[in-house]
Structure 1
Amino acid sequence: MTGAPRAVLVGAPGAGKSTVAGLLAREWGVAARDTDADIVAAEGREIADIFLDPGEAHFRSLEKAAVAAALAEHDGVLSLGGGAVLDPDTRALLAGHRVVFLRVGLADAVKRVGLGTGRPLLLGNVRSRIKALLDERAPVYASVAMLVVDTDGRTPEDVAREIREGLA
């Protein structure tokens, strides 16, 4: 596949997708791209604001389009928003790509995301919301991934090294 991303990172909030994408991109000499950042740049406002008005359904349609565009255009390291893989069309688009699931446990995800979060799906009891997201999404992340890398208790550099070795 020419022009395909070198790696596509998926996982829950707090898995380290953006951080690890940046490390891999530097090590491979390619660009990193984050579909959430693409949406923020295109809309001129934060994701939390899009969730509030016009709402989550609108955000998900923007996300679906952003992922499709990035998969078609980007040949570096691509990081997807945590909920992107919930869309069946997006999962179909990921087939054949080098998708890596960064798996994070509840305790590490809560520590990394923090309690003062700007993540709209984590409003309220952050710990219980993250647990629900992990329970719901982990099987979906695993279903699209060719490589699963555990991130708990590990440095981003160590995670990036495992990805490089796993995709070699």
Structure 2
Amino acid sequence: MTDTGGGPAVVLVGPMGVGKTTVGAILAERLGVTCRDTDRDIVESTGREISEIFLDDGEPAFRELERAAVRTALAEHTGVLSLGGGAVLAEETRALLAGHRVVYLEMDVHAAVKRVGLDAPRPLLVINPRQQWRKLMEERRPLYTEVARVTVDTGTRTPEEVAETILDALELKEA
């Protein structure tokens, strides 16, 4: 594995349901490192599910927790790091991602429907999930591409194929 000068070996960004957690686990295994997910960090640190935080405290409170979780993970973690779908909304987070091996996992709405069903308990997709997903992607796609060194379409690939594509694109050696 090539040294990034500290921080994670790979950072995965992309929309909910794109496979960041699954692909992250495969990458971590192949690289011989651990995998970390900032959404999971938030749930563990608060003892509450993300949907509860959204409902009880609002999106701004969640986004503050998210910025702190990303900042900490980027500073501490040396394995594969998966960020929540909206993490790139924060300018601070985008700035922190500069210089890291960031991979944008993308998919279209048809793949999202198949994977997530767009009826899962996702706080930002409660009303008219397809339209909301499209709106979120219009807002976030430019931010994902801004921070990414590599973009991988996950719509027609298995998680193993996505991981292989990432390893090849970033010229990373397996453990």
If the length of structure 2 is used for normalisation, what is the TM-score?
Answer: 0.93
2:160 pairs, out of 152, 157, 161, with 157
Instruction: Give the Cα–Cα distance (whole angstroms) in 1 for the partners of residues 5 and 148 of structure 2.
Output: 20
Tell me what 1:92 maps to: 95
Displacement, 1:128?
A: 1.1
Do the aligned partners of 2:23 and 2:162 also contact (CA within 8 Å) in 1? Answer: yes
Do the aligned partners of 1:22 and 1:32 also contact (CA within 8 Å) in 2? Answer: yes
Q: Does 1:81 align with 2:100?
A: no
Displacement, 1:67?
A: 0.1
Do the aligned partners of 2:18 and 2:105 also contact (CA within 8 Å) in 1? Answer: yes
Structure 1 counterpart of 2:53, one-letter code: I
Stretch deviating more after TM superposition (157-166 or 116-125) = 116-125
Displacement, 1:2?
A: 4.0
If the length of structure 1 is used for normalisation, what is the TM-score?
Answer: 0.97
Unmatched tracts of structure 2, length 5 or more: none
Instruction: Give the Cα–Cα distance (whole angstroms) in 1 for the partners of residues 125 and 37 of structure 2.
Output: 20
Tell me what 2:143 maps to: 140
Please give the root-mean-square deviation of Cα atoms over the aligned residues, in Å. 0.9
Do the aligned partners of 2:28 and 2:80 also contact (CA within 8 Å) in 1? Answer: yes
Tell me what 1:30 maps to: 33
1:166 pairs, out of 166, 169, 172, with 169
Structure 2 counterpart of 1:12, one-letter code: P
SS in 1 for 2:134: helix
Displacement, 1:154?
A: 1.1
Do the aligned partners of 2:11 and 2:83 also contact (CA within 8 Å) in 1? Answer: yes
4+ long deviations beyond 6 Å: none
Identity among equivalent pairs (%): 58
User: 5 Å matches for 1:39-78?
Assistant: 39-78=42-81
Displacement, 1:106?
A: 0.8
Do the aligned partners of 1:14 and 1:110 also contact (CA within 8 Å) in 2? Answer: no
Instruction: Give the Cα–Cα distance (whole angstroms) in 2 for the partners of residues 89 and 116 of structure 1.
Output: 31
